[in-house]
Amino acid sequence: MAHKRLPRVVYEFLDGAAEDEMTLAANRSAFDAYTFRPRHAVSMAQCDLRTTVLGSEVSFPVLLAPVGCTRVMHHEGEIGIARAAGAAGTIYILPTASGHLLEDVMAAASGPLWYQLYLIGGREAAEAVLARAENVGFSALVVTIDTPVAGMRERDFRNGLKELASRNPLAKIPFLPQLLAHPGWLVNFFLDGGAPTLPNIIIPGRGPVPLLDVGASLARSAVTWNDFSWIRQVWHGPIIVKGVLTGDDARRAVDHGAVAVVVSNHGGRQLDSVPASLEVLPEVVEAVGSQIEVLMDGGIRRGTDVVKAICLGARAVLIGRAYAYGLSAAGTAGVARALEILRADVERTLRLLGCPSVAALDGSYLNPKHSQ
C-alpha cells in the first residue's frame, strides 16, 4: 500500500538502501540460514510475549527504530508513530530528523520514548535538544555511530531527491507528473506546510535546520568515541549505542558507558557490503552479552525473524521499514496494523514452536546455521 500511496521519490527514499543494496538483501537472506527445532505436542493455553528492555516492560519484543523524515511519508509522522507504539505497549525511538517537535511527540505518547542523537548542528544544538528531551521525560538516549556521512543511496540520486528538496522552484517541475498522480499524499503534504524542517535542531542565530541541509550538516558533525564523555555530562539517563557490527565496537561501547547496544547496519543504508545484522549478532552477544543488553535491527519483516533474533541472544528487535510502510499507507492506523501483524506472527510462531514465552527462547529452538 505504501508503494501505491507515495510518489516514487518518497517511496524509494524509504525502501532503498546504499549502492548495490547488497547489505539490504543480506539482512533478509540471513534469516534463511537458520531453521527451527520445534517441540510438538506441547499444550499451551497462552504464550507470554512480554519482556523488559532496560527495565521497561514491553508487551512484545519489538521496538520502533528511529526513522528520519516520516512526516514527509505521512503528515501524522512521529506523532502517529508514538501514538501507535504506546497503544501497542512498546517503545518508540524518536530520530533527530523528526519533523515534529519532541514536546508534541511526548504529549501524544502513552508509552516510553527514547531519543536518537546525531550531532547535526554541532554540540551547542545537541545540548539544547538533549536538555529539552530530558526535561519532558525521554527515558534513554540512542547514539547512532554508523553515520559519519550519509551513505550513497543511488535510488535517491537517480530520482533527484536533492533537486526536489532544493529551494529552486524550477527544479521541482520534472516531479509534477508523479506528484500529481498521488493527489491524496500531495494535498496532505501541502496542508501540513509543504517545506519540511527539523524543528528540534535549532542552530543558534539561524533557527531550525531545513531538511535539505541534513546531509551536509551530518558530514560536519560525526559522532566519535571522544564525544561520549561530553554526552555523559549532558545526558544523565541510560545511553545505548546503535550501529555496532563487531565484538570490538561493542566492547568499546561498554567502555564508554553504554548500557545496551543495537547491532545494526542502518537497514543497509550506510556502508554497503557490511554483513547482515543477524550474521554478526552472535559475535556481539558473545563479546558483551553477559554485561549489557543486546538489541538488533535490520530485515525484520515477520514474527519468525523476531523469534530467530531472540534465539540468537537479542533482548528485543527494532523495526524500521516494517512500520514506516504502515505509516505511509494509513498513518497512525497503519503503524498500529503493522505492529498487530507482527505481534500475531510472534505469538503463532511460539505456539508452533512449542515455546511458552519469549523469555524461554534460546538457541535450542534453532538448528545449527547452514551455509547458503
Ligand X SMILES: Cc1cc2nc3c(=O)[nH]c(=O)nc-3n(C[C@H](O)[C@H](O)[C@H](O)COP(=O)(O)O)c2cc1C
Q: Find the binding residues for ligand X in span 10-49 (CB under 6 A).
A: 14, 27
DSSP string, 304-344: HHHHHHHHTT-SEEEESHHHHHHHHHHHHHHHHHHHHHHHH
121 binds ligand X (CB under 6 A): no
Task: Among 7, 61, 68, 326, indicate the residue that binds ligand X (CB under 6 A).
Answer: 68
Stretch that binds ligand X, among 35-43, 245-253, 263-271, 303-311 (CB under 6 A): 263-271
Q: Find the binding residues for ligand X in span 155-194 (CB under 6 A).
A: none
Q: Find the binding residues for ligand X in span 285-344 (CB under 6 A).
A: 297-300, 319-322
User: Considering beta carbons, is residue 47 or 310 the nearer one to ligand X?
Assistant: 310
**H or E element, residue 73:** helix 70-73
Vertex 320, ends 188 and 366: CA angle to 5°? 150
Least distance (Å) from ligand X to the CB of residue 300? 5
Query: Rounded to an integer, what distance in angstroms lies between the CA atom of residue 262 and that of residue 142?
Result: 9
Least distance (Å) from ligand X to the CB of residue 242? 5
* Nearest CA among 185, 209, 189, 203 for reference residue 95: 209
* Nearest CA among 251, 344, 236, 232 for reference residue 294: 251
Active-site choice (74, 75, 182, 266):
266
Burial profile 217-248: b = 16 or more Cβ within 10 angstroms, e = fewer? bbeebebeeebbeebeeebebbbbbbbbbebe
223 binds ligand X (CB under 6 A): no
- Determine the angle formed by the axes of helices 321-353 and 8-15, rounding to 10 degrees: 50
Query: Rounded to an integer, what distance in angstroms lies between the CA atom of residue 288 and that of residue 322?
Result: 28
C-alpha cell at 108: 501524544
Closest residue to ligand X in the complex (CB):
320
Least distance (Å) from ligand X to the CB of residue 93? 7
270 binds ligand X (CB under 6 A): no
User: Considering beta carbons, is residue 322 or 346 the nearer one to ligand X?
Assistant: 322
Least distance (Å) from ligand X to the CB of residue 315? 16
**Residue 169: partners with Cβ closer than 8 Å, 6 or more residues away:** none
Q: Is residue 256 annotated as a catalytic residue, yes or no?
A: no
Task: Among 10, 58, 65, 109, indicate the residue that binds ligand X (CB under 6 A).
Answer: 65
Least distance (Å) from ligand X to the CB of residue 354? 28
Q: Find the binding residues for ligand X in span 122-161 (CB under 6 A).
A: 144
**Residue 248: partners with Cβ closer than 8 Å, 6 or more residues away:** 287
> How many residues at the interface with ligand X, by CB under 6 A?
23
Task: Among 111, 267, 275, 331, indicate the residue that binds ligand X (CB under 6 A).
Answer: 267
Q: Hey, which residues are catalytic here?
A: 266
Instruction: Please report, as ranges, the residues that interact with ligand X according to CB under 6 A.
Output: 14, 27, 65-68, 95, 97, 116, 144, 242, 264, 266-267, 269, 297-300, 319-322
